[in-house]
Structure 1
């Protein structure tokens, strides 16, 4: 049976999501337990099963959603540390010597900046290692 003229008869598999066309499929025989384990690992990484297996097969990094969430949380803590250090600096500029010795406040400010640097280093390590 012939198709009407102008009608595209090629498969559109894999193009609905705006990705490159994927028309080839590989079947893998698994036990139900293996399938469940793969799907659990894919879910932990925030990926669909096929994307997870494709990334593994192409030796691409798999980032854990937990690790990326930890980096986001660390970024918030880092921002909070920066805000506190900024407030201490403002206090030193406007109310030097009121309520605390200026050297103590400056030392605390330096410690906060050091903590910020450590948090930033940990964030970088997590994103590089995951």
Structure 2
């Protein structure tokens, strides 16, 4: 069933058309929806940002698991690594600092 909505037409070069299509695909939108959002000044989602956010969250989880293993190592009383405890504690503090940095970056994305 045809739509009664008004239609806007514009002329673009082949390169411009390809770029618009690529941008719409990156945003996960149809060309029509993408152009409408851009023309109205509405935000367009970025699948690349979402993928980066997911990767950062995975890295954060890995750091958390690594920190857990370090804590387990430190809690063992009869471990022969007691001479390494200060170094392990330093690495643990560094991991926690990186996790805080990552959380800040994730919230900015």
TM-score > 0.5 by shorter chain? yes
Q: How many residues align?
A: 107
Equivalent residue in structure 2 for 1:89, among 67, 71, 79: 71
Q: Which has the higher helix share?
A: 2
Give the direction of change, closer, same or farther, for the CA distance of 1:97–1:105 in structure 2 (3 Å limit). Answer: farther
Contact 1:74 1:123 in 2 (8 A): yes
Whose Rg is larger?
Answer: 1
TM-score (structure 2 length as normaliser): 0.82
**CA deviations over 1:13-33 (Å, ceiling 9, x no partner):** 5xxxxxxxxx52422222342
For 2:52 and 2:37, how far apart are their aligned partners in 1?
22
Q: Which residue of structure 1 aligns with residue 37 of structure 2?
A: 55
Q: Which residue of structure 1 aligns with residue 11 of structure 2?
A: 30
Alignment of 1:1-130 (within 5 A): 23-33=4-14, 34-95=16-77, 98-99=80-81, 100-126=83-109
Unaligned 5+ runs, structure 2: none
